[in-house]
Amino acid sequence: MSQSQQQPALSKCPGCEEPPAAGDLFCGACGYDLSAVPARPDDRPTVAITVPPAAPEAPAAPPARAAEAVRWPAAPETDSSDVPAPVHRPSDLPGTDSGGRPLAEQEREQDREQEREREQAQQREQAQEPGGAAGRGAPVGPGPGAEPVGGPEPSAAAVRHDDRAGPEAAEHSGDFALAAPDPRTAEHSAAPAAPAAPAAGGQVCVACRSGRVDPDGYCENCGHAQPRERDHMEQELDAVAAVSDRGLRHHRNEDSFAVSSTALPDGSPAVVAIVCDGVSSASRPDEASAAAANAANESLLDSLARGTHPQQAMHEAIVAASEAVNALAQEPAGAMEHDAHRHQNAPACTLVGAVMAGELLIVGWVGDSRVYWVPQDRTQPTARLTEDDSWAAQMVAAGLMNEAEAYADERAHAITGWLGADAYELEPHTAAFKPDRPGLVVVCTDGLWNYAESAEEMAAAVPADAQEHPLRGAQVLVGHALDGGGHDNVTVALLPFAVRSQGAGSGCETV
């Protein structure tokens, strides 16, 4: 049989505060459920919480003797039989300390330490008195071997000082022998070991300055990718300067250049500038551009020194560059292991060059790299001296598009002529000009002229003092391309052309 707990009688309803009738489960006035009222707990006496009175503050104890701050009850001087209680000293107890010494010997050492402290205190008091030892000319301060003023407390005898003479002293000191040398002395006695130096002739990492660079161009110590030699190149001669930069988006510099000078058979100077741009969609474009630039430069120097006409020498140089790039495609079977795409296309690049010989300016090109003429007098007209081998140039030449429309097309930079084993047919372009006024010849890749396409835009980007400082001018032009985004490799060569002014006329005439 279930049992129900009897609810306590309430004096008033919790809802309306009206007194309910005895035995009602609901209030007759407001209907409040009186059974939901919790039962009153058993009455328990309230215990007052009192805070004991604060004890008088004890004087502060020295930090080294913190144990004296505890108030221990005083030991009785006599026991229940009125006999004086025995007093035990550490020396009376058998045993040894951690160092193997008898406890009595340790106690005597502490007594001697306390005696020395008392003697030192007396000496200090005598030195401070007007008629004491100080007044009689005795030296003030601790004597040889004495502890300094305010010496350590007796407990300081357990402090470890690793300055003992040898292992025998440590054996009787009660201390454990250290497994390692004292860092206070080792810090000055031995410097930290330096990282192992790279092997003789090895390249040192530019980031950590200590690791060796592996053949892939990464530091074996910190893993930092090393800048390649071709990431940024500069060269300056008396009459020509060139700068090449990797740019901001490419992982390597696929451009290359060669600048040089020689003497013609009559003794007059000749200046050469060759700029090549590797075709990124081909294999090993960086090798192709370097091979083409070097081959064309060597061919020009040889032909000009033999008296070959500069325009014919330029044509022969382009043919020699083409043969050098074609030779790269003739690789042994094992050379393709590191490039899965080498079997699909041959190395390829574009080429543009300029030669200043006597009063002539000779230009030659294959591809879409360009040559600009910027007169020293900026009020005179500027000119672009080359025509691109590209889809956009073909559309303009055929009259199908104007130049703005053609170069806005996504196919604009698809080249129709290049150097390489898979080129359709080699058609070197050459032209000869005879400027009638001084000016600057700008030889560049599309990594620059993409940010200064028209001749007027290029002239505006060339600094005013580039005629006198060609290297600085080339650096400024490369910076102009990088500031514009640096989406491609950037290479430019500047050749100052100095002639006597012959009056009004066109900036250049074709021979």
pLDDT in tens, 403-450: 888 888 989 889 999 999 998 889 999 999 999 999 999 999 999 999
Residue 182 has a pLDDT of 54
Q: Which of 53-57, 334-338, 451-455 has the highest mean pLDDT?
A: 451-455
Predicted pLDDT at 183? 52
Express each pLDDT in 100-112 by its tens digit.
666 666 667 777 8
- Give the whole-angstrom CA distance, residue 316 versus residue 323: 11
Instruction: Give the residue-averaged pLDDT of 122-142.
Output: 57
Place 306 in a pLDDT band, splitting at 50, 70 and 90: very high
Cβ-proximal residues to 333 (8 Å cutoff; 6+ apart), any chain: none
CA neighbor of 500 nearest in space, from 434, 428, 455, 450: 434
The pLDDT of 142-154, averaged and rounded, is: 46
Least confident of 143-157, 227-241, 322-336: 143-157
Higher pLDDT, 213 or 57: 213
DSSP-derived pairing of the beta strands 419-420 and 439-444: unpaired
pLDDT computed for residue 165 by the predictor:
45
* Window from 64-68, 292-296, 341-345 with minimum mean pLDDT: 64-68
The pLDDT tens digits of the residues spanning 368-381 come to 999 999 999 999 99
Residue 493 · residue 402 · CB < 8 Å = no
Do β-strands 348-357 and 360-366 pair in parallel, antiparallel, or remain unpaired?
antiparallel
pLDDT, position 454:
93
Q: What is the pLDDT of residue 263?
A: 94
Q: What distance in Å separates the CA atoms of residue 462 and residue 464, rounded to the nearest whole number?
A: 7
Among 70-74, 126-130, 279-283, 408-412, the range scoring the smallest mean pLDDT is 70-74
CA 49, chain centre distance (Å)? 66
Residue pair 182/162 in contact by the 8 Å Cβ criterion: yes
Percent of the chain at pLDDT exceeding 70 = 64
Average pLDDT, the chain: 77
Angle, vertex CA 355, rays to CA 349 and CA 356, nearest 5: 160
Give how far Cα 425 sits from Cα of 346, 413, 422, Å. Answer: 15, 19, 9
CB atoms within 10 A of CB 439: 27
Alpha helices in 70-102 (DSSP H): none
CA angle 109, 112, 118 (to 5 degrees): 145
Is the pLDDT assigned to residue 204 strictly greater than 90?
no
Alpha-carbon gap, residue 458 to 477, rounded angstroms = 9
Q: What is the predicted pLDDT for the residue at 412?
A: 87
- pLDDT, tens digit (0-9, with 9 covering 90-100), for 449-488: 999 999 999 999 999 999 999 999 999 999 999 999 999 9
Task: Please answer whether residues 303 and 319 qualify as being in contact, where contact means their C-beta atoms are separated by less than 8 angstroms.
Answer: no
Is residue 398's pLDDT more than 70? yes
pLDDT tens-digit profile of 216-261? 778 888 888 777 888 999 999 989 999 999 999 998 999 999 999 9
Task: Provide the percentage of residues in the chain whose pLDDT is more than 90.
Answer: 44
**If pLDDT is split at 50, 70 and 90, which confidence band does 82 have?**
low
- At residue 225, the pLDDT reads 78
Q: What is the DSSP letter of 437?
A: S
Model confidence at 304: pLDDT above 60:
yes
Neighbours of 384 (CB within 10 A): 16
Residue 114 has pLDDT above 60, yes or no: yes
At residue 135, the pLDDT reads 44
Q: Across 45-49, 217-221, 281-285, 312-316, which has the greatest mean pLDDT? A: 312-316
Q: Is the pLDDT of residue 498 over 70?
A: yes
Mean pLDDT within 278-293: 95
At 297, the pLDDT band (50, 70, 90 cuts) reads very high
Least confidently predicted of 153-167, 254-268, 329-343, 367-381: 153-167
3-class SS of residue 221: coil
Q: How confident is the model at residue 162 (pLDDT cuts 50, 70, 90)?
A: very low
Task: Please give the span between the terminal C-alpha atoms of the chain, in angstroms, as a whole number.
Answer: 129
Residue 142 confidence class, pLDDT cut points 50, 70, 90? very low
Contact 164, 170 (CB under 8 A): yes
In this structure, of 51-60, 84-93, 121-130, 155-164, the range with the lowest mean pLDDT score is 155-164
DSSP character at residue 103: H
Question: Are 473 and 494 within 8 A, CB to CB?
Answer: yes
Whether 305 contacts 262, CB under 8 Å:
yes
Stretch (H or E) spanning 480: helix 470-483
Strands 348-357 and 419-420: antiparallel
pLDDT at residue 229, as a whole number? 85
Sheet holding 241-245, edge to edge: 232-236, 241-245, 490-497, 439-444, 370-375, 383-384
pLDDT of residue 481: 97
